[in-house]
Structure 1
Amino acid sequence: MSRTALLIGTALVGLLLSTAQAVARDVDVERFTAIVEEGKELWQVPGLAVALIEDGNVVFQRGFGMTADDGSAVDEHTLFSNASTTKAMVSAGVLMLVDEGKLTLDDPVIDYLPELHFHRDAQPQQVTVRDLLAHRTGLPSTDFWTFRQLMPLEEQVRKMRLVAPAAAPRTRLIYQNTMYELAGMIIQRLTGQRWDQFLRQRLWSPLGMDETYGTRGQIPEGKALVTPHDIVDGKVQAIPYDLPPNLEDAAGSAWSSVHDMSIWAQFLLNGGIASNGERILSEESIAAMFEPAQLVSADDYYPSAELTKPNWRSYALGWYQQDFQGRKIDYHTGTLDGLVAIIGLDRAEQRAVIVLQNMGGSELRHALLWEAMDKREVTARTDWLQGVFDIYAARDAKRAERWAGLEKSRLKRTRTSVDMDDYLGTYSNAVLGEVRLMRRGRDLILKTGMYEYDVSHWHLDTFLVNYVAWSSGTFADFGIDPHGKVATMEVFGQTFEKLAEQ
C-alpha cells in the first residue's frame, strides 16, 4: 500500500468512527425526477440522461429533454460523449494486462515505449505506468497538441523530451491527458490492438455494453446521439463537435449511453465481476484502481468542494476521490465543448450515479452527484441545485468582472507599431508546433492544426484571440525587433518565433 493510501485510509477510519450512523434510505423517484427537471431548467440543459444505482441495482434510468434542435427525445439508449470518464475504462484495460502478467503498474514507461524520452528534469527512468494513470508525472498540460494542433500521437511522443516538468514526479496532481494517450499506446504495444478495440473485445462486449464506442465515428448510422450545445449570443444553441469523429483518444473519445454506463458502474460496484458471474478484473486490480495514488490540493480540485467540505482529496487510476459524510466517494467528470458527463461511486454503500448532458458549462452533473450521495433525511440536506449553481455563478461573475477590468484598462485609440499585414505569417514554437496568422477578407485569423481563431486589435501590439463565441478569449502580444520587424508572438502561454517567408 502506498503512503498516500495509508494516510487517507487512516483518516477515513477516523471519520467513520466519529461520524453518526447515516440514515438508510429508499430512493424517492418522484422527488429525484423533480430535482432533475428543475436543474435542467436552471442550467438550460437541452437534454440529459441520468441513472441511479442503489444496493447494486438500477433504480432510476431515463432521459430528459432533446438530443438536438430537431426535437428528438433523449432516452436511456441515447449516446453521449464519455469525454474523460473514458479514462477509468482505459485504466481497467491496463489492469487486465497486469492480471495477465504482461506488465506491472510500477514498471518504467520506457520499458514499453522505448522511443519515448521525457525531459531530463522529469527523472525519466522513474516515470511509471501508475504515474501516467494517476496524473502525477509532474508534467504540465500538453492539451494544445491534441485539442488545438491535432498533432499525431507519434509526433507528441517525439516532442515529449522538450516539455519541462512543472513539479517533481509524485508530488502534485497535474491533469495530463497525453499521459492517458500513452497508456493507450502501451495497450496497443502489448496486445497489437488499439485501446478501444481491446476494450471492445475484453470489457465492453463481455459486459454487454453494446452501446459503447471508441469514437463518435464508430457509431452506426441511425443510432441516436446528442448534439453539443452552449450559450451563444445569450441563448442556447447547437455548436460544432469538439473532436473529429475518428480521433481515437484514450484520454476521452469514447461515447456511450446511460444504459451502458450503468452496466459499467454495476461491474465496478461488484468488484470486477460481470452480471453473468464472470470475473473480468481481479480483486487485486480493482483494489489498485481505487487505491489513492496522489493527494490533491484544494486549488487542483472541483469548486463543489466548497459545499462538500472534504477532509482529504486524492486521485486514483482514473478517479477523483474524497470523503463525504464519513464515506469515500470515487468519481470523475468528462468535459468537451457542449458535452459533459459525470460518474460517481459509493462502493461501500453499493450506490452509483451517472449524468450525461449535451450542454457545455453546466454543472448540474455535480449537483445531481451530491444529491444522490447525500444520505441525510430530506429536510436536513443541502440544496445541491442552488448551492452548486451559486458557486459557478459567482465564478462566472468574477470572470466577467475581470474582463470588465481589462476593458477599462484598455488603451484607447492606439495604433500598431507596424502595418497590419506585417504581423501575418507563420510562427513556430519548439513544443507546440506551428501556427499561422492570415487574412480572410478583412478579418484576421489565427490558424492552428485544428481550429481557426478570430483575431482583433486590442491596443498597441496586443491582439484579442477568440476561438468561438462560447469560449473565453486570450491575448496575443507581438514583439518587434530592433529593425522594426515582427519577431515573436506570445500566445497560449508560450512564445512563438516568426519564420522568414519562403
Structure 2
Amino acid sequence: MSRLDHACPRPVRSAAALGLVAVLAVGCTGADADTAVAGRAAVATSPLPTVPPAQPPPQLTRAEVESAVSQLDDVVRDAMRRTGVPGVAVGVVHNDKVLYLKGFGLRKAGTKDRVGADTVFQLASVSKPVASTVVAAVVGEKTVGWDDPVVDHNPGFKLKDPWVTRHVTLADLFSHRSGLPDHAGDVLEDLGYDRSYVLDHLRYEPSAPFRAHYAYTNFGLTEASVATARAAGTSWEKLSDEKLYRPLGMGSTSSSFADYEKAGNKAALHVKTGDTWRAEHVRDPDAQSPAGGASSTVRDMTKWLRLQLGNGKFEGRQVVDAEALEQTHLPRMVSEPPHAPAGRSGFYGLGWNVSYDDQGRLKLGHSGGFALGAATNVALLPSEKLGIVVLTNGEPIGVPEAIASTFLDTASTGGPTVDWLTFLGPIFKQSLHGEQSPVDYSKPPASPAPAKANSAYTGTYSNDYYGPMTVSVQGNELTMQLGPKKQRFSLSHYDGDTFSYRTTGEMAVGLSGVTFTVGPGGRADKVRVEHLDTSGLGTFTRND
C-alpha cells in the first residue's frame, strides 16, 4: 500500500499502499499506520524469537469490552466532526462474537449515499495481513513453505545480488527484509507499468544487507504472493477467493479492482483541499494486489478477524492451519528500533506489525492508506480474543488509527490515555511533508541562470529500469514523456539546466527536479529525474 502503513511514527514515502509503521496507535502501541511510517530502514541487532512467548490469560472482562463498545459511536462521530472525513465503517469482534458493526457518513461527498456495514472500501495495505492469511492456508496444505526460496516457485524471479536471488524466501519478502529499497517498484506502478513489468525490474534495484535491513516493499510482498499462487497452479486473485473469501463467506471481498469498481455500494476515495473533502481520484492497485489491492466491507472483515483470533478456525471449521497462521504473528524483523534505552522495539511479522504491551500481551496491527483517498486500520489483542477494524474513505490523516487506539485504550484502562487524533494527526502530516523535495521548486532563484535553447534538451533518452523518455516541445512548452501510457509532464524552468515538474499518482511529492547534463556539443547527453532517483536509478541517457 502506501507510505504510511507500518509501525511507530517516523518519516515515510506514500505509496501504493500507504504503510505507516506498525503499532502506532495502540501503544506505539498496537494499531499500525501505513502511510506515515513505511519508509526508514531498521537494522536488527539481536536475534528475534522463533517461538511466541507464552500469552497471559485474558485480562479484560466482557463488561469492560462492552463499555468500550458502547462509547464507539461517540468516538467515531467526534473523529468525523473534527476532521470532516466523509465516511467511516467499524467492526469489533470479541470471543468470536461480532459486538459492533456500523457505518457512518457518506460513501461519496455531496451525495446522500450512506455508509453501512456492507459498503465496500479499498483496504490499501490492510491487504497485507489478509494476503499472509491466504499464503498461510497454502502453507498448511504443504504446497509451499514459508522458508521456501522464491525461485523454487518462480524460476524467473531475480534480484540484483545472485546469492540473495537464490536464497530469498517467501517469509523474507513478507517481512520486508529482502534488501530491496523502501517502496521498490511503486513509482513504476505510478507510471503505468503492470505487475509483470514491475516484478521483472526489481532485479535492477540496489541491495541493502540481506535479512539485516527493514524496508517496506509492496512489490516484494506481491512477488511472494504471486509465487505462491503459481505453486498452487492459479492466479493470486483466484487463490485468495478460493482459500479465504469463499470459505468465510466474504461475498463482498475481492483481490481484483474490477470487482470493487462494479460494486454498487462502494466508498469513493477522497482527498482534502483546505477544509473540503472531494472525490477526485480513482486508484487501481491491481499491480500490487496482494500488498494493497483488496477491497472489502466491515461485515466481511469481522469474519476474517474471527478467523485470526480463532487460530484459523471459523464456524467450527479449521479453514487455515493453526501453525501456519501462527507463523504470521511472530516477529521476523526489527521495523522500529527503540528510541530510548528503556524503550521497546517495533517488529514486523508476515504481513503484520507485531508488538508487546506493558502486560506482555501480543499486539498485531496494520494500517492501510492511499494518498489518493483511503485510510484503514486493523488492531488485534489475540490473548483477549479482541479485534477492531476501521475503514475510511479519506486520505490518511490518522482517523482509523485514532478510533482503533481509543477503543483498545478504553477497553484496557477505562478511557483514552491520550487524545489519539491530536497525537497522530501531526505525525501523518509530518511524514507526508517529509516526502517533499529538499528544493522548493515553486520559488526559483532571484537571478536564475538562463536555460539553453529547447533543442539542447529535446530528444529520446533510455533507462533500463524506467524505460524510454521523450523530451519534446508542445506549443511553447518543454515536456517530458514517460511510461507505457506515455504520460506527459510539463517542464518549468528553474535554474540553468534544471527544470521542475509536478509529480502525480500515489507516490506524488509535489514539485520535483529534472536536471540535464549538457555535453561539449551543446546537447544534453543525460538527464536526472529527482523523483525517480531515490535508489539511484533515475538517470536517463540520450540514445537518439
TM-score (structure 2 length as normaliser): 0.80
SS in 1 for 2:91: strand
- Quote how far apart the aligned CAs of 1:266 are: 1.1
| Residues 4 and 78 of structure 1, relative CA distance in 2, 3 Å threshold | farther
How big is each residue's C-alpha offset from its partner over 1:43-63, in whole Å with a ceiling of 9 and x where there is no partner? 221112112223332222211
Is 1:487 matched up with 2:525? yes
Cα distance in 2 between the residues matched to 1:310 and 1:73: 43
Q: What amino acid does structure 2 have at the position aligned with 1:289?
A: T
Cα distance in 2 between the residues matched to 1:454 and 1:235: 27
- Quote how far apart the aligned CAs of 1:381 are: 1.9
Cα distance in 1 between the residues matched to 2:433 and 2:157: 43
Alignment of 1:371-410 (within 5 A): 371-374=406-409, 375-378=411-414, 381-393=417-429, 406=440, 410=444
Q: Any unmatched runs of 5+ in structure 2?
A: 1-45
Q: What amino acid does structure 1 have at the position aligned with 2:203?
A: R
- Quote how far apart the aligned CAs of 1:234 are: 6.0
| Residues 325 and 373 of structure 1, relative CA distance in 2, 3 Å threshold | farther
Contact 1:47 1:359 in 2 (8 A): yes
How big is each residue's C-alpha offset from its partner over 1:399-449, in whole Å with a ceiling of 9 and x where there is no partner? 89x87x836984124244412354334332222323334445455544432
| Residues 471 and 338 of structure 1, relative CA distance in 2, 3 Å threshold | farther
After superposition, the CA RMSD in angstroms is: 3.1
How big is each residue's C-alpha offset from its partner over 1:358-398, in whole Å with a ceiling of 9 and x where there is no partner? 11132112211211221443456222122222433555677
Cα distance in 2 between the residues matched to 1:447 and 1:67: 35
Alignment of 1:265-304 (within 5 A): 265-275=305-315, 277-298=316-337
| Residues 4 and 63 of structure 1, relative CA distance in 2, 3 Å threshold | farther
Alignment of 1:342-353 (within 5 A): 342-353=377-388
SS in 2 for 1:296: strand
Aligned to 1:302: none
| Residues 234 and 496 of structure 1, relative CA distance in 2, 3 Å threshold | farther
Alignment of 1:168-207 (within 5 A): 168-207=209-248
How big is each residue's C-alpha offset from its partner over 1:10-56, in whole Å with a ceiling of 9 and x where there is no partner? 6x98xx79xxx778443344532112112123222111211222333
| Residues 437 and 310 of structure 1, relative CA distance in 2, 3 Å threshold | farther
Q: What amino acid does structure 2 have at the position aligned with 1:297?
A: E
Cα distance in 1 between the residues matched to 2:101 and 2:165: 45
Cα distance in 2 between the residues matched to 1:123 and 1:398: 31
Aligned residues, how many?
A: 482
Is 1:126 matched up with 2:167? yes
| Residues 36 and 221 of structure 1, relative CA distance in 2, 3 Å threshold | same
Alignment of 1:340-489 (within 5 A): 340-374=375-409, 375-378=411-414, 381-393=417-429, 406=440, 410-449=444-483, 451-468=487-504, 471-489=509-527
How big is each residue's C-alpha offset from its partner over 1:135-185, in whole Å with a ceiling of 9 and x where there is no partner? 1101113224642233333334443332220x2211121111112221232
SS in 1 for 2:365: strand
Corresponding residue to 2:356 among 307, 323, 328? 323
| Residues 27 and 57 of structure 1, relative CA distance in 2, 3 Å threshold | farther
| Residues 160 and 328 of structure 1, relative CA distance in 2, 3 Å threshold | same
SS in 2 for 1:295: strand
Is 1:27 matched up with 2:70? no
SS in 2 for 1:341: strand
Contact 1:334 1:341 in 2 (8 A): yes
| Residues 345 and 443 of structure 1, relative CA distance in 2, 3 Å threshold | farther
Aligned to 1:159: 201
| Residues 105 and 398 of structure 1, relative CA distance in 2, 3 Å threshold | closer
| Residues 171 and 256 of structure 1, relative CA distance in 2, 3 Å threshold | same
Cα distance in 2 between the residues matched to 1:227 and 1:332: 21
Aligned to 1:252: 292
Cα distance in 2 between the residues matched to 1:84 and 1:397: 20
Higher RCO, 1 vs 2 (CA within 8 Å, ≥6 residues apart): 2
| Residues 453 and 258 of structure 1, relative CA distance in 2, 3 Å threshold | farther
| Residues 46 and 25 of structure 1, relative CA distance in 2, 3 Å threshold | closer
Return 350-359 or 377-386, whichever deviates more. 377-386
Cα distance in 2 between the residues matched to 1:200 and 1:495: 38
- Quote how far apart the aligned CAs of 1:311 are: 1.1
Contact 2:122 2:260 in 1 (8 A): no
Cα distance in 1 between the residues matched to 2:431 and 2:145: 42
Return 387-396 or 363-372, whichever deviates more. 387-396
SS in 2 for 1:49: strand
TM-score (structure 1 length as normaliser): 0.86
| Residues 420 and 389 of structure 1, relative CA distance in 2, 3 Å threshold | same
Is 1:313 matched up with 2:346? yes
Q: Percent identity?
A: 22
| Residues 158 and 214 of structure 1, relative CA distance in 2, 3 Å threshold | closer
Aligned to 1:57: 97
Alignment of 1:102-121 (within 5 A): 102-120=143-161
SS in 1 for 2:317: coil
Contact 1:216 1:253 in 2 (8 A): yes
Q: What amino acid does structure 1 have at the position aligned with 2:271?
A: D
Alignment of 1:33-44 (within 5 A): 33-44=73-84
- Quote how far apart the aligned CAs of 1:212 are: 0.3
Contact 1:310 1:322 in 2 (8 A): no
- Quote how far apart the aligned CAs of 1:200 are: 0.9
Cα distance in 2 between the residues matched to 1:114 and 1:426: 34
| Residues 269 and 114 of structure 1, relative CA distance in 2, 3 Å threshold | same
| Residues 446 and 368 of structure 1, relative CA distance in 2, 3 Å threshold | farther
Cα distance in 2 between the residues matched to 1:473 and 1:78: 35
Cα distance in 1 between the residues matched to 2:441 and 2:230: 51
Q: What amino acid does structure 1 have at the position aligned with 2:196?
A: E
| Residues 28 and 109 of structure 1, relative CA distance in 2, 3 Å threshold | closer
Aligned to 1:93: 134
How big is each residue's C-alpha offset from its partner over 1:246-290, in whole Å with a ceiling of 9 and x where there is no partner? 657222111111111111111101110112x11011121121111
Between Structure 1 and Structure 2, the one with more helix by share is 1
Cα distance in 2 between the residues matched to 1:268 and 1:379: 26
Aligned to 2:120: 79
